[in-house]
Every structure is written in structure tokens, then in C-alpha cells.
Amino acid sequence: MTVSITDVARAAGVSASTVSRALRGRPGVSDEVRAQIAAVAAELGYTASRSASSLASGRTYTIGVVAPYIGRWFFGTVLDAAEQILSAAGYDVLLYNLGSPEARKRFFTKLPVRKRVDAVLSLLIPDPEETDALLSLGVPLATTVGGARDGFVVVGIDDRAGAESAVRHLVNLGHRRIGMISGASGPLHWTTPIDRRQAYLDVLADAGIPHDPALEADGGYTVEGGEQAMTELLAGSRPPTAVFAQSDEMAMGALRALRRHRLRVPDDVSVVGFDDHELAEVIGLTTVAQPVAGQGAEAARLLLRRLDEPDAELPGHVQMPIRLVLRETTAPPSPRGPQ
């Protein structure tokens, strides 16, 4: 059988309570006894049962992370970084992958994290009901996606500023027919596509360029969607000479579509993305870099602080820096235009 705390207590000639206090660094144990107990515990290979300890103490030392598709680069990277911080602090990570509607529904109705986690990091945008469910857990909450929400500490970026720098870059290069591939069909309450679009409109207006709805297409934040969207844009009567894709994945899809149409990048069409995907550099994609791993780490750190000192005043909203990374997919428009 596995060794329990009473085994250690017996072997060390003390009571179980003393073992518990000694091993967790609680006061009320003399240094020599503490050392003795530590030695015995190590020799016996004792590890406290988490179930028992969290049942007794109410603390679980576990943090739940809910995410859509962890397979996608963005979420995987955030998760990766968050996990490192959390596990270094002695917390375990319970992962819930809510890609499918069924999984999502199951999670929010059964709420398996109830009484199982000390905090939750959400990488998805909960609708109002789901938000209530999370709040009902009564534990600290954090998110790295979407805008401010009550009860959550959210770490994110300035989507407006990021999109502005991307579009302005195209304008400065001399482009005037600038298309956008967005992700309008995402979940509600997700402000990112809206903010980025607004920045796009603002920059155009600022440059005195009239807005042409035919230059907007929905790419659904996927590679395939980006490819379709670009194809749509190219089918128009006056296709764009430059495109701002709201994510690198959509930008990659756009690049693929352009290649299929035998258009050269950036000679015929410029493309700028958003995210700085790990492969953006490989492809040479000009993009707006955001610290994805940094956001996961920061969110994790904020949760930990909140657990350590529950009533400390913490910022409810943290903005991480962004920057435009110039690579090889943007250039001044060709004098002849595309086609």
C-alpha cells in the first residue's frame, strides 16, 4: 500500500498533526523534529494525498483552465506559459477543452470544477449565463481574451492600437485599396474583431480613403477561412492592393489564395497579419506581434497573487505591449496594380 501520514508519524515517533505541520512549514514544530520528520518522509517516499488534504482544508492547490481548441497555436502557447508559472508555484492545472458545443454545454451545466479548483483561467469568451456559472464558483477568475468583464482579471492588448499600426503601415506604403479579412462570425461579447475593424475604419478615414464594403471579408480566424476570404476579395471588380488580416492564420490562408491566383507577395499584393504566430517568421509575414506567452504567464501570476493575498488591490485589466514587425509580405503598391 501507499504510505500515509500516520505511517510517517509512527516512524518518526510523533503524531500525525505534527507531521502535517512540519511538512507544510507551519509553526509549532521544533527545528530538530521538523528535520527528523522531513528525513523520514523522504525515506518513505511520502506524498500527502491531495484529496484528503483538500477535503480537510478546503484548498485544492489546483487551477482550472478552460479553453477552446488547445490544438491551436494561440491557446496552446498561452496554456503552456500559464502552466509553467502555476506548476512552479505548486499548483496543478486541470484542463478543460471546450471545443465542441457538447463539451462546452457539459462543462457549464455539470461544472466539474466546483469544489475542485482554487481559481479559473478562461481562454474562451463566456456568454452571460456561462459567466454567471463561473462567478458562482466563488473563486478568482482570469482571462486572456476579450475585453473587460466584471469579476475577471483580464490581461490583453490594445487591439485598436495594434490594428491601427498595421493599417497605417499599409497606408504609409502608398496603398489606397486596402482590404480586411476579419472574424465577424465569432462568439458574441468578443470585442476583438470589432475593435480591430474600428481601427481599420479609423485609419482609412484619417487618410481620406473612402470605405468600400466590398473590401471586407470574413475569415473566421482560420487558415481555410482566410483563404476563402482572400479568394472573395480577388473576385471583386477592383481587388485590393493590400490586405490586413486580423490574425496570422487568416493571413496564411490569404497567402495561399494569392499563390493559387499566381499573384506575387508583396509585388502584387501586400499582406499584414496579427499575432506573430510562431511560423510567421518562417513565412516572412509582416504582422503585429503580441506577447502571447507573456499574457498567459501574466494572467497566471495575477491569479496566484490573488490567491496569496485575497484582498490586495490588483489591477482588473492589464495591457501588454504590441509592436509591428516588418518582414517580407509588405511593399509599396505596384504601379500597374494587381491582375
Partner DNA sequence: AATCTGAACGCAAACGCTTGCGCAACAACG
Partner DNA sequence: CGTTGTTGCGCAAGCGTTTGCGTTCAGATT
Binding stretches for DNA (CB under 7 A): 1-2, 4-6, 13-18, 20-21, 23-24, 26-34, 46, 48-49, 52-53, 55-59
Which one among 23, 41, 283, 289 touches a copy of itself, defined by CB under 8 A? 283
Q: How many residues bind a copy of itself (CB under 8 A)?
A: 55
Which lies closer to DNA via its Cβ, residue 13 or residue 187? 13
Q: Which of residues 290-309 bind a copy of itself (CB under 8 A)?
A: 293
What is residue 267's DSSP assignment?
Answer: T
Does the footprint of a copy of itself cover residue 242 (CB under 8 A)?
A: no
Does the footprint of a copy of itself cover residue 84 (CB under 8 A)?
A: yes
Q: How far apart are CA 115 and CA 153, in angstroms?
A: 21
Instruction: List the x/- string, 87-106, binding to a copy of itself by CB under 8 A.
Output: xx---xxxxxx-xx-xx--x
CB of 109 to DNA, least distance (A): 17
Tell me the residue length of the chain.
Answer: 339
CB of 128 to DNA, least distance (A): 27
Select from DNA, a copy of itself, none the partner in contact with residue 28, using the beta carbon and a kind-dependent cut-off of 5 to 8 Å.
DNA
Q: List, as one string, the DSSP characters of 64-98.
A: EEEES-TTSHHHHHHHHHHHHHHHHTT-EEEEEE-
Buried b (16+ CB within 10 A) or exposed e, 289-309: bbbbebbbbbbbbbbbebbee
Q: How far apart are CA 248 and CA 15, in angstroms?
A: 60
Q: Which of residues 178-237 bind a copy of itself (CB under 8 A)?
A: 223
CB of 94 to a copy of itself, least distance (A): 6
What is residue 213's DSSP assignment?
Answer: G
CB of 87 to a copy of itself, least distance (A): 6
What is residue 242's DSSP assignment?
Answer: E
Q: How far apart are CA 240 and CA 262, in angstroms?
A: 15
Can you list the positions of beta strands (E) in the chain?
62-67, 92-97, 119-122, 141-143, 152-157, 178-182, 216-218, 242-245, 270-275, 286-289, 317-320, 323-325
Select from DNA, a copy of itself, none the partner in contact with residue 76, using the beta carbon and a kind-dependent cut-off of 5 to 8 Å.
a copy of itself
Select from a copy of itself, DNA, none the partner in contact with residue 69, using the beta carbon and a kind-dependent cut-off of 5 to 8 Å.
a copy of itself
Radius of gyration for the chain, computed over Cα atoms and rounded to the nearest angstrom:
26
Q: How far apart are CA 162 and CA 288, in angstroms?
A: 6
Does the footprint of a copy of itself cover residue 76 (CB under 8 A)?
A: yes
The footprint of a copy of itself (CB under 8 A) covers 2, 47, 49-52, 54-55, 60, 62, 65, 69-73, 76-77, 79-81, 83-84, 87-88, 92-97, 99-100, 102-103, 106-107, 110-112, 114-116, 223, 252-253, 255-256, 259, 278-279, 282-284, 293
